[in-house]
Amino acid sequence: MKFDFAKLPAFFLKVFLFTIPIGLQTLLYKGEFFTGQFNYFSSAFGYLSELFLILAVIAEGVKLLIIKETKDVYEYGPAEYVWWGIFLLIIIANLVSCIFASDKGLALLSTLKWLELLGVIWLLARGTLPRKQILKWLFAGAFLQVIIGLGQYLKQGDLGLTFLGESKLGASYLNVAKVDLAGEKVLRSYGTLPHPNLFGAYLLFVLMLLFQSLNRKKALKYFPLIIFFAAGILLSFSRTVWMVGFLFCLFITVERAIKFSWKQLIVAFLAVFFLLVVFSLDSVILARLMDLSKLAWQERIYFIEAAWNIIKTQWWGVGAGNFVLEMGEFTTEYLDPWLYQPVHNFILLAAAESGIWLGALWVLLFGWSFELCGLAMRRIIKSERFFWKSHIAMLLCIILLGMTDHYFYTIWPGQAILGVYFGLMLFDFVERKKAL
């Protein structure tokens, strides 16, 4: 059987998409945290999925140089070039910030993550894989994560999947995310991701892509899968993800793109009720919703205070990836060493680390992404209306999650989610333009 090099980029890209949530990683660089202890956010890691991404980029580059392609190469127009230009400026701004960083090694490695993200977007936007294949491998990876998350909740501990990068988990462990219930600790599901919030956001992102690709006829076929993913999202106990997921469901209801019969709604109610009973979720979810702990909010306020103080007094930034190393100098409150982490706001974190211009560039990039969706909306036929409105809804959901947490900016699987969305959006926009 003859080896076909032209298929190699697609193969590596498939494996990358599947392994995005796999937590297998290696420590590349350890920053000097002020206590001498280890801090996740003052260090740099290399994930397994990054290896497959790099191989995919190299293979695609070699294919372009030595193999004549039979398919059409996408031709970008001014609107797409503006988007790419803004993203390149984001990378340059991060690179410039290395000059001002106290830990230049950490700053450089943090900047390289955005260069890798450029590779994700480029591969997807140019059609290295068909859209259906992209969704297929994303769903496969997410399906595995839901199974692991369900197992973790039932066991109230890890499943021993260290070969997949699963963290050591237990309701009695320190520095493990839990929910308080009547004085008892209930473990939140992680999957093989670094935190339950990211676990929930990842599953929600994949579920939104599933809804985007559905029509009324397919809704019933995928109904069990939707319930299955919803269970995983519930077990993340991420209130922000719950809220954003509710808003996306509200959007689907208002758009009436997918209509369910009374029988389907009754089945859905019974399925949800079954999950609540089997996993004893009713009291835990209620406790989580009613938990208005001042401590959690106060901690986030301290992070925000530190970010604003950096922006006001050192508007050129403290260097990419250096927020946690420097935040102690810009807050008046004492925080225990294990509470040092990036500010839970994407734009503030970008501006504090790499200057106010980087915060402005991210706002511009998101704004221009809305513009691309708007351009596509003005050219669509009626049958595509929901598809592009859901693109806008997903972008809004990503922004809302980014304004309340930092994983899209600081943790590779979160960054990869962002890259996959942007790559798919650009791919869909070019496909729409070609079809006119």
Cα–Cα dist 241/204, whole Å? 7
Q: What pLDDT is attached to residue 225?
A: 81
* Secondary structure of 41-68 in HEC code, one letter for each residue: HHEEEEEHHHHHHHHHHHHHHHHHHHCC
- Identify residue 195 by its one-letter amino acid code: H
Domains contained in the chain, number: 2
Q: Give the CA distances from residue 195 to residues 21, 155, 435, in Å, rounded to whole numbers and listed in that order.
A: 11, 17, 41
CB 186 within 8 A of CB 178: yes
CB 146 within 8 A of CB 228: yes
Same structural domain, 398 and 329: yes
Same structural domain, 239 and 321: no
Q: How far is CA 102 from the centre of its chain?
A: 28
DSSP-assigned letter for residue 332:
S
| Last-in-domain residue among 275, 290, 305 | 290
For 329: left if phi > 0, alpha if psi spans -120 to 50, otherwise beta; the answer is alpha
Q: Which residue has the tokens 């790099």?
A: 54
| Last-in-domain residue among 248, 265, 290 | 290
| Last-in-domain residue among 247, 264, 290 | 290
Q: What pLDDT is attached to residue 25?
A: 92
Same structural domain, 124 and 66: yes
Same structural domain, 208 and 282: yes
Tokens of residue 35, six digits: 């206590």
Cα–Cα dist 203/210, whole Å? 11
Same structural domain, 263 and 300: no
Same structural domain, 299 and 401: yes
Cα–Cα dist 433/435, whole Å? 5
Q: What pLDDT is attached to residue 318?
A: 94
CB 136 within 8 A of CB 13: no
Same structural domain, 177 and 321: no
Q: What pLDDT is attached to residue 84?
A: 95
Cα–Cα dist 144/216, whole Å? 26
Same structural domain, 365 and 220: no
Q: What pLDDT is attached to residue 271?
A: 61
Q: How confident is the prediction along the chain (436 residues), in pLDDT tens digits per residue?
A: 566 667 889 999 999 999 999 999 999 998 887 766 788 888 999 999 999 999 999 999 988 887 765 454 556 778 889 999 999 999 999 999 999 999 999 999 999 999 999 999 999 998 899 999 999 999 999 999 999 999 999 899 999 999 999 999 988 887 888 887 656 788 899 999 999 999 999 999 999 998 887 755 566 677 778 888 888 998 898 888 988 988 888 887 776 555 555 555 565 555 655 555 555 554 555 555 555 454 556 667 788 888 999 999 999 999 999 999 888 888 777 677 777 889 988 999 999 999 999 999 999 999 999 988 888 877 666 667 778 888 888 999 999 999 888 999 999 999 999 999 999 999 988 887 666 5
Q: What is the pTM of this model?
A: 0.88
Same structural domain, 109 and 223: no
Q: What pLDDT is attached to residue 123?
A: 95
Which backbone phi and psi does 118 adopt, to 5 degrees?
Answer: -60, -40
Q: What pLDDT is attached to residue 64?
A: 84
* Secondary structure of the chain in HEC code, one letter for each residue: CCCCHHHHHHHHHHHHHHHCCCCCEEEEEECCCCCCCCCHHHEEEEEHHHHHHHHHHHHHHHHHHHCCCCCCCCCCCHHHHHHHHHHHHHHHHHHHHHHHCCCHHHHHHHHHHHHHHHHHHHHHHCCCCCHHHHHHHHHHHHHHHHHHHHHHHHHCECCCCHHHCCCCCECCCCCCCEEEECCEEEECCCCCCCCHHHHHHHHHHHHHHHHHHCCHHHHCCCHHHHHHHHHHHHHHCCHHHHHHHHHHHHHHHHHCCCCCCHHHHHHHHHHHHHHHHHCCHHHHHHHHHHCCCHHHHHHHHHHHHHHHHHHHHCCCCCCCCCHHHHHHHHCCCCCCHHHCCCCCCHHHHHHHHHCHHHHHHHHHHHHHHHHHHHHHHCCCCHHHHHHHHHHHHHHHHHHHHHHHCCHHHHCHHHHHHHHHHHHHHHHHHHHHHHHC
Same structural domain, 340 and 374: yes
Tokens of residue 434, six digits: 């070609």
Residues ≥6 apart with Cβ < 8 Å to 424: 124, 131, 134, 209
Q: What pLDDT is attached to residue 129?
A: 92
Same structural domain, 266 and 279: yes
Q: Which domain holds residue 193?
A: 136-290
Same structural domain, 280 and 335: no
Q: What pLDDT is attached to residue 20?
A: 96
